[in-house]
Each structure stands twice: as structure tokens, then as C-alpha cells.
Copies of this chain bind each other. A is one copy, B any other.
Amino acid sequence: MKNLAAPLMIVSSDCHVGAPSSEYREYLDPAYRVAYDESIADRERLESRTAEVVGRGPMSSDGDAEHDALTARWTAERRLTQLDADGLAAEVVYPQPAGRAAPPFYNIFGHPLDPGDPLAAAAGCRAHNRWLADFCAGSPQPERHAGLALVGIVDDVKAAVAEVEWAKRAGLRGVILRSQPLSGFGWHDPRYEPLWSVCESLEMPIHTHGGEGLELGDLPGSRSIFFTEVVWFAHRLFWHLLWSGVLERHPNLQLVLAEQFADWVPALLHRLDKQYAGTVSSITLTEGLSMKPSAYWARQCHVGASFMNREECELRHEIGVRSILWGSDFPHDEGTWPDTAVALHATFDGVPQAELRAMLGENAIRVYGFDVDSLARHAERVGPAIEKFA
């Protein structure tokens, strides 16, 4: 029986880790190390550009707090201190999207159709995955980190399947895909079927994370246009897998759409259900699906509601309480860290306890297979008291 008075067991479904380049270098296939060394200089330039895109540098080292946040990307002890201070029992970890602690050759803000050298990018992803597996396993409290493997390079589907199998063995808990594959028309292509099969059978949920979009150039308005458009590109995987029948054929495959807000979900489900029913126009294309789109959403899909706001909370029943995975976006500026308790109160004040516990922790525990007893012990120690949300 549940302890209704227990502190909140909070899992952030959207955190970011990444190594300094000297560490990544050790994990990188030696054939790519010279190119990597050269890319460090390029990365410094990319970082300046990213800093400009997001309005300020994501990794300024001014001040002790900033410095702690920077090193908490790769130092497990510092990271755990920050998780404790912020009241989190556990975290799901994505890579840094760009800049100093991003995987070799990795920049999610790049044009999805223009990945640079795909072989180098694939090597960089493999290096990150191996570093990440060691980082999680080597943490003093490994039960608090669920690492996600980058499987962005699937021109070679067999290699992608092998990487998923390796990631599972190495203790990683899911797979991150690009918004769009590096070649071809999209994730609806039947050539990716073995990838969906292995992710389903090994219980490795698949993810997209907001960041990619069409190339907009360095022009007036480009930054704002990018922010308007970027979330849409990260949504696409859902309807690509829906309409191509992947969610139908793989009923246990789980999909997580991370850091792309949650308020768009009800309108999208409404539109897709109308499209399925043929009431959008005279054209009916059910594509052989046995259920309406919102039913696949409820069964298999989740939205990573990073720094979720009150408005999104009020839409929770239309989004689906079981589909919401709250996230702090630690250690990024736009997230709730280091003031998560304040942010949670503003967003969730008055929400029934069962719903609160689902969105803040239990859903992530179910999706990622966290050990609930271990997390309960951490929550007992660091979680906010439930009375605060009465």
C-alpha cells in the first residue's frame, strides 16, 4: 500500500550530461581523433553561435554556481549534490545539444538534412554512448541516472540495431533519434522496421528532443523563427510512426517527445482523430490503423514536459496524465533548476496527489524501469513534502 504521506518522488525526465573533450577523445575511435581535435576549434565557434542563438551562453563559467553547473555535466558527485539540492530522486539524461560538453561532432541545432560527415557523427555518438554508460555505472548512486543512447546514424540500419543491443547490455535505458533520419524521406520508411523491433523487444523507448529545424540562415528574425518552428520538427516522429503503422505493429514500443512543450498535444490529437475519421475533408486515409490516433498516443506516447507551466498542467487530462513526464532541464538556464520547488508549486498547486505523483515521478519510473525502492529512499531524504501541494 502506498504511503500517502511520503515526500514527492521526483524524476526529471529531461536532464543533460556531457564530457569535456579530453574525456570524449579517449572514447572516440582513433581514426577520428585528428578530425575531432580539429573540430574543437570549430566547436568554439559553434558555441559562440549557439550562445547568440539562445541569447546568452549556455555554458558561461562566470561565478561559482555557473562553474558548478558546468562541471556537474560530467562529475557525478557534483551532479548528485545538485540533484539533492533541487529535490530530485532521479534523472533521465540526454547529451548536451551543442557546445563544449556536447558529443564529438554533435550539434543538434544543425540542419537535420545536413549532418556534416555522417561517419564522423556516428563515431561521435558511439563515443558519447560509451562514455555515458561508464558515467552512469560509475556514479556513486547509479540507480539515479537513466542514460539515453544516441542512435542518430541509421543509414546502416543493421549498425543501429547493433548499437541498441549494445546500449541495452551496457545499462542504458532508451534511444534518441534525430527528428529526421540522415538520408531518405523519413522515419516512416519500412527500412527502419528492424530498429522498431529491437527497441520494442528490448524495452528501449525511443526519443526525440527539440533542437533541429530547417536551415534559416543568419538573417533578421531567424532566431525567433527557429524558436517558433523547432518544436514542430520534434513532434514529427509521432505522426510518422503513427501513420506508417509502426505504433500499430509494435504495441509495446514506447515513444517520448522531450523538451518541446506539452500544450500542443490536445489540438494535435483532435486534428489527427478528425483526419482518421475523414472529417477534415472528403478524404479518408486510415492507413489500416485499428484505433484512432489518440488511442495510440494514450497507449504508447509520452511528452517530456520540461519546465511545465500552469497552463499545460490545466490541460493534463486532455494530454493524458499518464503521458506526461515532467522535466527540470538541468543544468540548462531555461529549466527549473536550481529552484524546482518554487516552480513545481507555481505549476501544480492544488493538483490531486495521485496525478501529481504520476506526472512528477511514477510515469518516468514505469517508462524507464527505475528501481522504485531505491528512488523512494532518495525521495525520503531529498523530496519535497507532499503537504506543500495540498
Binding site for B on A (CB under 8 A): 54-55, 184-186, 188-190, 214-217, 219-225, 227-229, 232, 236, 239-240, 242-245, 261, 263-264, 267, 271-272, 275, 280-285, 287, 307, 333-334
A124 to B190 alpha-carbon distance, docked (Å)? 37
Q: Is the CB of B244 within 8 A of A188?
A: no
Closest CB of chain B to A192's CB: distance in Å?
11
Partner of A188, one of B219, B272, B284: B219
Closest CB of chain B to A335's CB: distance in Å?
9
Q: Is the CB of A222 within 8 A of B55?
A: no
Contacts of A240 in B (CB 8 A): 221, 225
Q: Is the CB of B224 within 8 A of A285?
A: yes
Closest CB of chain B to A168's CB: distance in Å?
27
Q: A232-B232, A267-B263 are in contact. Are A285 and B188 (CB under 8 A)?
A: no
* Top 9 A-B residue pairs of the complex, sorted by shortest distance between their CB atoms: A221-B244, A185-B217, A221-B243, A224-B243, A281-B334, A188-B221, A282-B334, A55-B283, A224-B285
Q: Is the CB of A221 within 8 A of B236?
A: no
A215 to B244 alpha-carbon distance, docked (Å)? 15
A280 to B229 alpha-carbon distance, docked (Å)? 13
A214 to B184 alpha-carbon distance, docked (Å)? 11
Chain A, interface SS category: loop
Contacts of A186 in B (CB 8 A): 214, 216-217, 219, 225
Closest CB of chain B to A153's CB: distance in Å?
20
A190 to B227 alpha-carbon distance, docked (Å)? 19
Contacts of A222 in B (CB 8 A): 185, 188
Contacts of A285 in B (CB 8 A): 55, 223-224, 227
Closest CB of chain B to A304's CB: distance in Å?
14
Partner of A228, one of B190, B229, B272, B283: B272
7 A–B contact pairs at CB < 8 A?
A: A185-B217, A186-B216, A188-B216, A190-B219, A228-B243, A229-B239, A232-B232
A186 to B215 alpha-carbon distance, docked (Å)? 9
A292 to B348 alpha-carbon distance, docked (Å)? 28
Q: Is the CB of A188 within 8 A of B54?
A: no
Q: Is the CB of B232 within 8 A of A275?
A: no
Contacts of A220 in B (CB 8 A): 188, 190, 244-245, 287
Contacts of A227 in B (CB 8 A): 275, 280, 283, 285
Partner of A219, one of B189, B282, B333: B189
A223 to B245 alpha-carbon distance, docked (Å)? 13
Q: Is the CB of A307 within 8 A of B281?
A: yes
A271 to B262 alpha-carbon distance, docked (Å)? 12
Which residue, of A184, A244, A263, has the highest number of chain B Cβ atoms within 10 A? A244
Q: A215-B185, A267-B267, A283-B55 are in contact. Are A239 and B228 (CB under 8 A)?
A: yes
Closest CB of chain B to A234's CB: distance in Å?
13
